[in-house]
Amino acid sequence: MCIANYEASGSQVQITLERGIPALIGSFASKQLPYPYLSFDMVHCAKCNVDWDKNDGVFLVEVDRLLRPGGYFVWTSNLNTHRALRDKENQKKWTTIRDLANNLCWEMLSQQDETIVWKKTNKRDCYSSRKSELVLKVMIQNRHTTNH
């Protein structure tokens, strides 16, 4: 699945759909995306401007929910460049995102220019050892936003 912000040209989504891959135009909302658990082998965020570091990583947990074990999260963002990481605020965001991904038992496979590839583990022991308070906070937060 590809997640992309609205583009006047529609190029990112059009290319994705032409290849037979589901695509979502727009940003993550406060509710779960309309897909069942473990739906995708890959989620690609193409400069989607999602604040992955906000709300205790709620959006990364949502990606984790959608990814099958062994699936990939591909994130393309200007935040990932060496130039952007010179800024202390961007460094803080990047550190938070990296730590959240580690807590979700994702392994960073590659980082080139603006693109980072993480792999969701398929090892069951990692799930039992991961920081359950992160997942619990997100579940409670989702419950509150869907009930209002």
Domain boundaries, the chain: 2-147
2-147 classified as CATH 3.40.50? yes
Q: What is the pTM of this model?
A: 0.75
The SS3 assignment for 105 reads: coil
Highest mean pLDDT pick, 14-18, 100-104, 127-131: 100-104
| Res 123: pLDDT | 82
Give the model confidence (pLDDT) of 19-47 as tens digits: 777 666 655 655 677 788 998 898 888 77
Give a three-class secondary structure readout of 18-46. HCCCCEEECCCCCCCCCCCCCCEEEEEEE
Mean pLDDT of 94-111: 90
